[in-house]
Amino acid sequence: MIFNELPLKGAYTIDLEKREDGRGFFARIFCLDEFEKQGLNINIVQMNTTLSKKQSTVRGLHFQRPPKAETKIVRCISGSIWDVIVDIRENSPTYGKWYGVELNDNNRTMMYVPKGFAHGFQTLVDNVELLYLHSEFYSKKHEGGLLYADKTVNIDWPLPVSGISERDKVHPMLSELNPIRL
């Protein structure tokens, strides 16, 4: 596994370190020892998947508040997405900043989303499936969201947004959000 630290402290993309031969390749997508060597302590307790049928769909930006704040590892297993994280950690030097990267079934890159970040994505093609690994169980009581179209965050979505849930349309803007205190 190849860990690439992002400009938002604590966030990473993770690329596969492939062992290839004539049959194809083998690679780890998770190894606790390798994460711990990077100083990334994560205890996976839940795995989820999502399928988005239409190109330009946006899901997010989602997070969970303490004490159920979670770290996520996100991988696109079919199709292609523009994956986005926003730092919403109180007193962070990159508070309100975002980072985006393409995850797809060809590059097999994963996004490591630390606690205190909002996460969302836009589908770049039809029929996209993601795999999520979570460090905390889902808690409706602790769920939160950040408006995907917040002008102060100013995320550069690559396509016009054509599909978004009613819930995601009404998340608060950054100025209305209580920062995450970890």
The DSSP bridge partners found for residue 52 are 128
Q: Which residues are tagged catalytic?
A: 62, 132
This prediction's pTM: 0.95
Confidence band for 100, pLDDT divided at 50, 70 and 90: very high
Give the domain extent around 90. Answer: 43-176
Residue at 148 is within a domain: yes
- 103 and 158 Cβ atoms separated by less than 8 Å: no
Q: For residue range 118-171, list pLDDT tens digits in order.
A: 999 999 999 999 999 999 999 999 999 999 999 999 999 999 998 999 999 999
The CATH number covering residue 80 comes to: 2.60.120.10
- 47 and 152 Cβ atoms separated by less than 8 Å: no
Q: What is the pLDDT of residue 28?
A: 92
Using only the alpha carbons of the chain, give its radius of gyration. Answer: 16
40: its two tokens: 């990334």
Q: For residue range 59-91, list pLDDT tens digits in order.
A: 999 999 999 999 999 999 999 999 999 999 999
Domain count, the chain: 1
CA distance 121 to 145: 13
